[in-house]
Amino acid sequence: MTNYLYLFFLVLTVAACKSPEARKPVSAKSGSFIDQSVARNIELNEREHAVFEQLMQADTTTKYIASNSGFWYAYQTQVADSLITPQFGDKLTFEYHVTDIAGNTIYSKADLQPQTYIMDKQELFTGLREGLKLMRAGETVTFLFPSQKAYGYYGDENKIGTNVPLICEVTLHSITRSESN
């Protein structure tokens, strides 16, 4: 009887020392949702670029510049004698208004009031943040932002809906350097 008891404990000890085995997934998911989402976003981006191309071709008096960040801009007022552009931490004072691609006002300058913004330390939609970095104090620039550079899929949860490309006219009044710059 004691031999059986020793044998039982020996089998139990050997079984307890077994390394754990990886479990197989219950079901394997394919990347089809992500692939479909990528395809939709590429199509949306191409449609918005085509609309902006038409707008730029129709406006023969304005020279639009393509940014490296995926939007276009044109100077309404350009300041050539200043080399100072906003850097991280600088305090900016600016005003702007927002229209849709049909020219309908979404937010007027009166709605938005002059803004004070600390460069890259406060929230601002991606396109406008990147656009301000291109400006000098005293300049007025018109930006054409595709929806992914504006408010994207979520909109601003107020007047700007899902995937709405925007046109913003921005006037940068002042740049106050931060102490670290």
Q: Which long-range contacts (CB under 8 A, 24 or more apart) does 54-59 make?
A: 55/101, 55/144, 56/144
Helix (H) or strand (E) holding 115: strand 115-118
Please report the pLDDT score of residue 14 as a whole number: 66
**Which SS3 state, helix, strand or coil, does residue 142 take?**
strand
CATH for 73-181, options being 3.10.50.40, 3.40.50.150, 3.30.450.70, 2.60.40.1120: 3.10.50.40
In the predicted model, residues of the chain with pLDDT beneath 50 are none
Please report the pLDDT score of residue 15 as a whole number: 65
Please report the pLDDT score of residue 23 as a whole number: 76
Expressed in angstroms, the distance from the first to the final Cα of the chain is 85
Spatial distance between the Cα atoms of 93 and 132, rounded to a whole number of angstroms? 10
Please report the pLDDT score of residue 30 as a whole number: 65
Please report the pLDDT score of residue 86 as a whole number: 93
Please report the pLDDT score of residue 8 as a whole number: 73
The domain locations on the chain are: 73-181
